Amino acid sequence: RASGHTVRLHETYEQLGGKSMQDWDIRCDVVVVGSGGGALTGAYTAAANGLDTVVLEKTAVFGGTSSYSGASLWLPGSAVQERAGLDDSTDMARTYLRALLGDAEADRQEAYVTTAPAVVEFLERDPHLEFEYQPFPDYFDAPGRMDAGRSIIPVDLPSVAAGEVRKLVRPAPIVDRAGQPHPDETLIAGRALIGRLLLALQGTGRADLRTRTAVTRLLTENDRVVGVEATDADGRTLRVRAERGVLLAAGGIEGSDEMRAAHGTPGKAQWSMGPAGANTGDMIRAAVELGADTALLDQAWFCPGVELPDGSGAFMVCVRGGILVDASGNRYLNESLPYDRFGRAMIARGESALPSYLIFDSSEGGPVLPAMSIPEASAGDHFAAGTWVSADTIEELADKIGVDAATLGATVERFNGFAEGGVDEDFARGEDPYDTFFCPPRELPNVALPPIATGPFHAARIVLSDLGTKGGVRTDADARVLTADGNPIEGLYAAGNTSASVSGSIYPGPGVPLGTAMTFSYRAVHHMIG
């Protein structure tokens, strides 16, 4: 674009001893780094408002971890909850968050709950974007909670409607991580979210989206971020100039063992659910080089992980049976806890909990894990790899996993007593609405407490996984990246797991990772628009 503005920038650049203006390969208004739900919401907000927008994605497909996700979106008090007849509101959501998070980051909490309905309203104006309510309980018993939840999800996207875009969306974990064949199926959950956002972006005619283009550096002029440098698929350097701003939404540090170790983040890259090689903290490091402050780098959206035969972790969720024991053979948590609280209980237990074992029986017709494993491996593959073992008695099972047989026997016996009485006297499993939500209806004193009684018995190795880390650069209510003295770095914005989460060390409910990523990306672009 030829404009006076461009010429002026050219002069400044020359004065700085930089290269000439021809060095800009692309000129646009907004550059977005990454292509998850937050990134694409920001990009769509920009493009739909008439801004030329460039999205740069490091891997071969769009969507990141967001594609893998269930795409529950904690975007409370919107028209979608109203359509579903829910008694949800911004006030209730505010009450709930404040009860959990206290006054820390009150302005960002407020920005989140008051903007969420506007994000949904804006997105739903596009014919490609449509959401519906999905029952999924909030994760804490606190004022303002909704027992059946308040999250929304994108409506499924039929393969035909997705068209060519389907091939650009990162496949589901079972395909992408577990290597199973790629069915030509309806895009659901996270893939529907990414597919729909790509279609909407395409419809604006203002977006240039590139895969295999890794951003390596942020470019500045007079203390303002004015663009990025990236390496494309052919190894060429690409310089992209952004007149309005650069939005970093490039995930967290989950894929970097080096950064995890440097910041004391529990777990490890191999167990994390981030796509292999994707989220290695590149943009957090680039922003820190410019003086960005960071917070919460030891935090993640934790979860238990079923150890898969290849040593990776699979998100374990919706537990409906079995008990978890550590190396001592003792239970140490309510197995029905929401997954982040489950992960944090594993961390609190320390070394003896890594790995832990889910002990389960054959009451579901064989070695069927009484929980969802995303992705899953067959029982046969688990047995062959030794990640699951079986035995006819609990004592034999204990020997196979190297746990004291008498202790494990006593643990199971005590739990079976609780199952019979319908009350878990040790960890209150089955008392919270979340605990029973994923359990099938069954004739038991407490549906969350099925006994472990039908041999053979099985033990699955459980490690500490995460759905991404949640520490990163510090941002304000408009997602502007802040320095240690609290001043914004002009032209630089961050959202999603590249930024330090507004929810600190708490995971309030289903869809907070994506809900916050989308809301703060939307706010970032509105701030750029001014």
What is the binding site for ligand FAD (CB under 6 A)? 33-39, 56-59, 64-66, 68-72, 173, 214-215, 249-251, 273-274, 278-279, 282-283, 301, 315, 374, 467-468, 496-497, 510-515, 517
Query: 330 vs 497, which CB is nearer to ligand FAD?
Result: 497
Query: 311 vs 386, which CB is nearer to ligand FAD?
Result: 311
DSSP letter string over 407-423?
A: HHHHHHHHHHHHHHHT-
CB of 474 to ligand FAD, least distance (A): 15
Query: 446 vs 516, which CB is nearer to ligand FAD?
Result: 516
CB of 156 to ligand FAD, least distance (A): 14
| CA-based nearest residue to 525, from 207, 105, 94, 128 | 207
In which element (H, E) is residue 177 found? none
CB of 173 to ligand FAD, least distance (A): 6
CB of 477 to ligand FAD, least distance (A): 18
CB of 317 to ligand FAD, least distance (A): 8
Query: 145 vs 458, which CB is nearer to ligand FAD?
Result: 145
How many angstroms separate the CA atoms of 173 and 64, rounded?
Answer: 11
In which element (H, E) is residue 308 found? none
Query: 234 vs 351, which CB is nearer to ligand FAD?
Result: 234
Would the CA dihedral through 80, 50, 127, 197 be positive or negative? negative
CB of 168 to ligand FAD, least distance (A): 12
Q: How far is CA 464 from the centre of its chain?
A: 15
What lies within 8 Å, CB to CB, of 48 at 6+ separation is 122, 126, 200, 204, 206
Query: 64 vs 370, which CB is nearer to ligand FAD?
Result: 64
Strand partners, 402: none
Q: Enter the tokens of residue 320.
A: 């409906």
The answer to whether the beta carbons of residues 259 and 497 sit under 8 Å apart is: no
Beta pairing class for 152-154 and 131-133: antiparallel
Question: ∠ at Cα 155 (438, 373), nearest 5°?
Answer: 35
What lies within 8 Å, CB to CB, of 360 at 6+ separation is 321, 322, 368, 369, 370, 452, 457, 458, 459, 460
Q: Count Cβ atoms below 10 Å from residue 318 Cβ, excluding itself.
A: 15
Query: 119 vs 408, which CB is nearer to ligand FAD?
Result: 119
Query: 294 vs 411, which CB is nearer to ligand FAD?
Result: 294
CB of 55 to ligand FAD, least distance (A): 9
CB of 138 to ligand FAD, least distance (A): 13
